[in-house]
Amino acid sequence: MPLMRLQKRSVLVALAVLLVLAIWGPLPLSAQSVSSTAIPQLARAVPKAGSDGPFDLARALTEAQDGDTIVIPPGTYTGPFAVDKSVTLLGEGWPVLDGGGLGDVLTITAPGVTVEGLVIRNSGDSLDKENAGITGLAPRLTVQGNRLEDVLFGVYLKSAPGSVVRNNVIGGKELGLGRRGDAIRLWYCAGSLVEGNYVIRSRDVVIWFSPDTLVKGNTVEYGRYGLHFMYSDDNTLEENVLRYNSVGAFLMYSRRLTLRHNLFYSNRGPSGYGLALKDADDVVSEENRSINNRMGLYLDNSPRSIDAIGTHRNNLIAYNDVGVALQALTRRNTISQNIFQENTTQVSTAGGGELTGNWWHSEGLGNYWSDYAGYDADGDGVGDVPYRSQSTFENLMDTQPELRLFQLSPAADAIDLAARAFPLFQPRSKMSDDHPLMRPPPPPIVPGLQPSSPLPVLFTSLGLVVLGSLIVIGGLKEDLPWNQSSQ
């Protein structure tokens, strides 16, 4: 019996201990049992002994160790600053790093650094020295969620493969277009990500010698080149909005590029290309919109290699001065199932000549041309006669661009009318689409489009109804008997 009572007491004591643990949680481990790398430390600068001085960012950077997170409180910190350890800089309440108008504001020389939540402003303005808000010189850098203001170059990464530039707002200095620096420049940064950035009034977004890079969801406006690629293979550009620049995107000397769901809008500089390709091989451009540019699509020796092709399909190319322009010797492009809608000139041959060696249809489906005047007798949705780009005045413009001043004038119409009337002067056909579509395919879905308001159409309709009603009422009054008897 005493033994049984002892066992019962032991069980009750054990249950009591378990109940305490359940309420208060597990007992803390000893300090020696926790690895020093298990929990990242916050490296904060400590003011001088005996003072209540402000946070010292330069000292925090000096005292930090690899893996630390430096939390920067609100305030303005005058640089320049240098990061030579693999740390995270995290801003609270948008602290400002001010470069004082000299040199680079923040220079990173250690790999794996993250910069987030900061305002970077007031870099130097020397193009020769390439003064930047953030200069990165090491791999695997992450620059995200920052605001860069009044900087010559914004984020300039050199030999920084595997880096991320995401969700930043970048504004350049108030300088002429030729004096500005690039908002984002990647130089030898293979395998990087440029995503969700908003860039305004800078020069270019440059991706050079940086293969396997994804450029997605960026908006670039009021600059020179929205995107400028050179020697960067196997890259993808998608869901970008490139508008109000001199050129939307100029992609050069690169291979296996994919472009989809991008908007090239109102890029109307001296060249004014929406999308331009030069010496680019195996490019796939699909489901993009190129609207209200000087040239919607420009192909210069693309593809370049004899075994390469170019594919351009399911794009909307609308309301441009020129829909698509090709150099006369450009070959091996398949251009199909696109919508060519109300471009002033649908197809142009840069420098004149006839376009040969390209395919304007694929699998029996060509393109939709808003000025196609053919018919579809069998009702299969494909025109029974080819679409031909054939205009004497357009041929003259291809060799004499200054004649564009007279486009849409009575003189241009008279020249085309005379050419049709006298077969001896029939214009040379630039291209032929043997399978033109009778109806446009669904337009591609792209970001950056403002939904149209029905109010203007509604007010116009109501105005026409009121005007028509007044005219009818006025006519009826004249036909009334008392009005006729008074006359």
Strand partners, 198: 169, 219
Alpha helices for 115-196 (secondary structure H): none
Residue 95 maps to a domain: no
Residue 155 maps to a domain: no
Residue 131 maps to a domain: no
Lookup: tokens for 301: 């020796």
What is the rounded CA–CA span in Å between residue 22 and residue 293?
A: 69
Residue 237 maps to a domain: yes
H or E element that contains 461: helix 455-479
pLDDT of residue 408: 55
pLDDT of residue 424: 54
Q: Give residue 308's domain range.
A: 224-390+428-449
Residue 139 maps to a domain: no
CB atoms within 10 A of CB 3: 7
CB within 8 Å of 307: residues ≥ 6 apart: none
Task: Please name the amino acid found at residue 49.
Answer: A
pLDDT of residue 410: 67
Predicted TM-score (pTM) of this structure: 0.80
pLDDT of residue 12: 47
With beta carbons less than 8 A apart as the criterion, state whether 335 and 309 touch: no
What is the rounded CA–CA span in Å between residue 359 and residue 235?
A: 25
Residue 432 maps to a domain: yes
pLDDT of residue 463: 78
Residue 281 maps to a domain: yes
Residue 413 maps to a domain: no
With beta carbons less than 8 A apart as the criterion, state whether 227 and 246 touch: no
pLDDT along the chain (487 residues), means of 10: 46 44 36 30 41 82 96 96 98 97 98 98 97 98 98 98 98 94 98 98 97 98 97 98 98 98 97 97 98 97 96 98 93 98 91 83 96 93 89 54 59 55 63 95 92 66 76 64 56
pLDDT of residue 459: 73
Task: Please name the amino acid found at residue 89.
Answer: L
pLDDT of residue 201: 96
What is the rounded CA–CA span in Å between residue 9 and residue 443?
A: 80
- Number of domains making up the chain: 1
Compute the half-sphere exposure of residue 220: CA atoms within 13 Å on the CB side of its CA.
32
